[in-house]
């Protein structure tokens, strides 16, 4: 089975000469299907740069990145856009929901240009909301949902395309403790069902839900530890 993420010698440099900033200095990372990985690092560690490269939002200065077997560095911008849409489900700190659109329609958005019939898009969006426990809030606007519920809608939107990777950037940064545990519980269940989850975080309580913690410092991975055995849903 091919890795979801396979990174070798990944480097990212901004600028040149004496003013060059070496954000990543030769990162090596492999994430297998079904893993739940937390990537941690202080501000300026290279953690955010690594997120942008893993999410195909930026390209490395050198090195190789295979996303579900696809060589990211060999793709043009249109191909990268298609890869992001089909292979990665993004979850951001700020939810990024369309304010005057229902939860169900927000979840449907990534499928608009997929060529699916409206009925098929709706069916998949309903199924994604059911997976995060929000089928009873399908017609609600974001303003009618709590912060935790809005983030669960964002998770459903990330799931709806059937991506190889769920990539979450500080997903609980805007949530209170109860909502944080609620959203992390959704990640736990999705991973137990076989979803590959990578979470970028600086919070120990978030990383504690992962099965593997990767620590980044000064543009390098300085620790990579399996913290607990992966669970399985019966």
pLDDT tens digit string along 125-159? 999 999 999 999 999 999 999 999 999 999 999 99
Q: Categorize the per-residue pLDDT at 228 as very low, low, confident or very high, splitting at 50, 70 and 90.
A: confident
Determine how many CB atoms are found less than 10 A away from the CB of residue 165. Answer: 22
CA neighbor of 164 nearest in space, from 22, 34, 46: 34
Domains and CATH numbers, the chain: 34-57+76-226 (3.40.50.300)
Res 28 pLDDT > 50: yes
Res 231 pLDDT > 60: no
Burial 113-135 (b: 16+ CB within 10 A, else e): eeeeeeeebbebbbebbebbebe
Burial of 74 (0-12, 13-18, 19+ CB in 10 A): exposed
Q: Across all residues in the chain, what is the average pLDDT? A: 93
pTM of the model: 0.92
Q: How far apart are CA 201 and CA 198, in angstroms?
A: 10
Res 201 pLDDT > 80: yes
Res 219 pLDDT > 80: yes
Res 232 pLDDT > 90: no
* Tokens standing for residue 113: 């240009």
| Cα torsion angle, 100, 102, 108, 110, sign | positive
* Tokens standing for residue 35: 């893993």
Res 205 pLDDT > 50: yes
Res 80 pLDDT > 70: yes
For 32-68, how does the pLDDT look when each residue is reduced to its tens digit (9 = 90+)?
999 999 999 998 899 999 999 999 998 899 999 999 9
């Amino acid at each position: 089975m091919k890795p979801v993420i396979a990174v070798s010698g990944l480097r990212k440099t901004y600028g040149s000469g004496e003013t060059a900033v070496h954000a990543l200095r030769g990162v090596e990372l492999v994430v297998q299907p079904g893993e739940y990985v937390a990537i941690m690092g202080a501000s300026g560690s290279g953690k955010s740069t690594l997120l942008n490269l893993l999410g195909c939002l930026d390209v490395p200065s050198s090195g190789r990145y295979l996303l579900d077997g696809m060589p990211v560095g060999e793709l043009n911008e249109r191909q990268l856009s298609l890869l992001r849409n089909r292979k990665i489900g993004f979850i951001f700190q700020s939810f990024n929901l369309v304010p005057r659109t229902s939860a169900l329609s927000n979840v449907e958005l990534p499928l608009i240009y997929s060529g699916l019939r409206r009925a098929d898009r709706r069916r998949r969006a309903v199924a994604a909301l059911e997976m995060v426990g929000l089928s009873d809030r399908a017609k609600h606007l974001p303003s009618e949902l709590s912060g935790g519920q809005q983030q669960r809608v964002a998770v459903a939107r990330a799931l709806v395309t059937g991506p190889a990777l769920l990539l979450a950037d500080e997903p609980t940064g805007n949530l209170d403790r109860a909502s944080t545990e609620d959203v992390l519980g959704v990640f736990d269940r999705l991973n137990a069902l076989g979803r590959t989850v990578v979470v970028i975080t600086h919070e120990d309580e978030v990383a504690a839900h992962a099965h593997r913690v990767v620590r980044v410092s000064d543009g390098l991975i300085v620790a990579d530890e399996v913290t607990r055995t992966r669970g399985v849903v019966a």
